[in-house]
Structure 1
């Protein structure tokens, strides 16, 4: 709350405040330049990437974590988890409890399966709502239509495949979607390039981003 913020303002880490403020200013400048010179620039200036590179370099060079107690990303495990078959035997119990919860509410005894069911239903609803809302915003902005069924099928396929690699539940990322749209990404090519970059970071160069301030 605001009251808590102001009550602890004397404990502010000045170095972290400077880092955060500088990043905000640079991002605002980049956004203004892209808007003002939109017709003259062949591609928008990727200020977000520039800020990440500069922030990582400054943090590593000045050792912000140890010298000024600035929180950084820290250790990034490298490599991908080996694929494994999900615990299929839980699906019938989760499904039946999800149906029961939908019928009689949340007053039943909380077994592990019921907890999973409640979480799964909530995540599915919220995830689809976020994805559909973000898709509709961009559809209105750029003049095209979306198919809710298509979005739902896509989320189902992604989560089904991801379950074999122990991933988090897959849905849209509001911040990432806005950044991609602001930098000119319009097709699946942008998503493919982003996926390749993430894979490269996870497999090979993740350690380079460990000094990145949070």
Structure 2
């Protein structure tokens, strides 16, 4: 097992994880009083990784796997494959119910916090329309994300923020995507691991759930 470890990728991964954890937990708290914005350490790591891989040709000399070719065009719309319905019907219903529950929960939280008007049927119509439209493209199921919703409502007051964020994402897909071809996969994996650090640390809450809420403890490990 150990003889299958790729040493250059391991070294890059350890350096990337160390940089992200050290910068987020030690450097950022000290710079919070100086700067009014959070320094994008992940972006810095991506730029350094791409630059080092491109100029040092790490993919050739040290067999570092990179992201590779990233398509810059959008696939044409196509009808869904209805022949797959019998095999994915149960899973699709579970995903749909979960998506609706998450979306409505976030909508209620935002409504209570900012005193917005909330109509259950309108939310369901909107979510259903977007889901039907997305079914013509190879995308993931549509739902809401609490973190993005909170950030969007906390820093902006209108729906124009969605337009600007969508345009920025479109620019990344069409123009900035090719620049990520030389991003090492080990750097990308390190960013994912560090982003899950907070979730993994929540395992400490399990000892508090056992004597109080055993059902929540079972649900905690199920998730």
Name the TM-score class by shorter chain: 0.5 to 0.7
Q: In the alignment, what sits opposite 1:30?
A: 23
Q: Is the 8 A contact 1:71 1:213 kept in 2?
A: yes
Q: In the alignment, what sits opposite 1:169?
A: 141
Could you tell me how far 1:194 is from its partner in structure 2?
Answer: 4.3
Change (3 A) 1:30 1:131: farther
Q: In the alignment, what sits opposite 1:118?
A: 90
CA distance in 2, matches of 1:189, 1:31: 30
TM-score when scaled to structure 1?
Answer: 0.62
Q: In the alignment, what sits opposite 1:209?
A: 180
Change (3 A) 1:121 1:78: same
CA distance in 1, matches of 2:20, 2:184: 15
Superposed, which structure 2 residues align to 1:41-190 within 5 Å? 41-84=35-78, 86-87=79-80, 90=82, 112-128=84-100, 135=106, 144=113, 149=120, 155-171=127-143, 177=147, 186-187=155-156
Gapped runs of 5+ residues in structure 1?
1-7, 91-110
More displaced 10-residue stretch of structure 1: 45-54 or 193-202? 193-202
Change (3 A) 1:124 1:79: same
Superposed CA offset, 1:98-128 (max 9, x none):
xxxxxxxxxxxxx742113123113224445
Change (3 A) 1:195 1:62: farther
Q: Is the 8 A contact 1:130 1:171 kept in 2?
A: yes
Instruction: Decide which of 193, 196, 203 is 2:167's aligned counterpart.
Output: 196
Could you tell me how far 1:81 is from its partner in structure 2?
Answer: 2.1
Q: Is the 8 A contact 2:80 2:135 kept in 1?
A: no
Q: Is the 8 A contact 2:80 2:136 kept in 1?
A: no
Supply the RMSD in Å over aligned alpha carbons. 3.7
Q: In the alignment, what sits opposite 1:40?
A: 34
Q: Is the 8 A contact 1:80 1:203 kept in 2?
A: no
Change (3 A) 1:57 1:167: same
